[in-house]
Amino acid sequence: MIGYVGRYRILRSLGEGGMGRLFLAELAGAGGFLRRVVLKVVRDERDAGLVEALLAEARLGAVLLHRNIVAVLGLEEIGQRRLLVLEHVDGMDLGVLLDRRGRLPWPTVAFVASEVAAALDYAYRRRDDAGRALAVVHRDVSPPNVLLSWEGEVKLGDFGVAAAGDERSPDGPTGRYGYMAPEQARGAPVDARSDVFSLGVLMAAALTGERPRRAEGDLAVPPEAAERRVPVLPPEVAPPALAAIVARATARDPEARYPTAAALREALLALDGRQTDPARELSALLREARPRAAVRAALGEAGIEGTRRTQPALRAVSRRPVRPFVLAALLVVTMIAAAIPRLTAWRDQARSAPPATAPAAAAPIAAPAPTAKAATSHAAHGSGDGAANRPARRRSGR
């Protein structure tokens, strides 16, 4: 799917999710308008369940307008294909950052978690036109869905499996089981406290650098997921106050957790030792990880956890123009490399050639005896020639 789809020029594949594929694209308009967006496409348009999930995400995204939530820009229908148009966050997701750096400093983790908590609280409290609370539960709070911009912005994405608090998935538990709350893993009703649990697991993973074990496709839910206990964090990775916050957020009993994401956010913001400019600190961490991430992109690896970019990504990279001075340098190097074998052959030929035979000496010509000055100059050059050759050398030097 590299080329044009309607008004969008597809740049490269960004990977696959549970619902479908993601593509980086450009939208061009009048007067030089150009904007990068992300297109989400279902795997199979014949799957009515996937199509309905995409439409539900579009409808929900139309009313979730928050600085910490990836914006839904529109829904396109081109031929038989439906495209969900999403905001492009120029950066990397938290999963990639953890892959690059391992565990993160606790002030950075507290900042990222507080921003995600703000998004969750907004989604849960958002009201419709009739004044009813939407009570949206994300149900898949995990590192790949936390997007980080190069400027230090934090945005929660992929509300594709989000649902109202009293809703159950017809196909059982939905989301990454490694971050699921026990009640979600059992298929029981979920509410804001379920997302609080998932955010607590995410904080523990970012603080320790140890991610929950993943199952085949990360969709199957093993029985132990409903009985999970998050270990107490050691003091070398988190201060006691933050360790206590994570412990409360990940309590197995929902009643023992923070009642809302807003309450969790307040606790995080009250921590002592927080950064004065956490967004700038996060930006610095991302930029340190950026060179290696750029290499991964050039090799066609994914910017999204657990996936790989497809071969068209390599073709997109190869279409970039080559600067003239690069071509000139390559030409010079090629010419030098081609000349080296010839020079080597000439040198070897010169070394192996037999010495030239001196011609028969002619009858000696009488010459005046050398002066003292000429004899001294001749000796200074260290000549080892015989007496018969000396007169000839003196004549050639005049």
Given the structure tokens 């009858």, which residue do they identify? 363
3-class SS of residue 202: helix
3-class SS of residue 41: strand
Q: What span, in angstroms and rounded, lies between the C-alpha atoms of 72 and 92?
A: 18
Cα dihedral 270→276→278→282 (10° resolution) = -140
Given the structure tokens 């998050």, which residue do they identify? 230
> Residue 255 burial (CB < 10 Å; 0-12/13-18/19+)?
exposed
How many CA atoms, within 13 angstroms, populate the side-chain half-sphere of residue 12?
Answer: 23
Cα dihedral 271→273→277→280 (10° resolution) = -100
Q: What span, in angstroms and rounded, lies between the C-alpha atoms of 259 and 267?
A: 12
The span from the first CA to the last CA of the chain, in angstroms, equals: 83
Nearest to 219 by CA among 19, 54, 10, 53: 19
User: Which DSSP string corresponds to 99-117?
Assistant: HHHSS--HHHHHHHHHHHH
Say if CB 141 and CB 116 are below 8 A apart: yes
Of these residues, 93, 140, 158, 195, which one is catalytic? 140
Helix (H) or strand (E) holding 243: helix 240-249
Six-digit token pair at 322? 């080559």
Q: How many helices (H) and strands (E) does the chain have?
A: 12, 11
Q: What span, in angstroms and rounded, lies between the C-alpha atoms of 351 and 165?
A: 90
Given the structure tokens 């294909």, which residue do they identify? 81
3-class SS of residue 210: coil
3-class SS of residue 273: coil
Nearest to 110 by CA among 211, 29, 202, 183: 202
Query: Phi, psi (5° rounding) for residue 220?
Result: -70, 140
Catalytic status, residue 348: no
Active site residues: 140
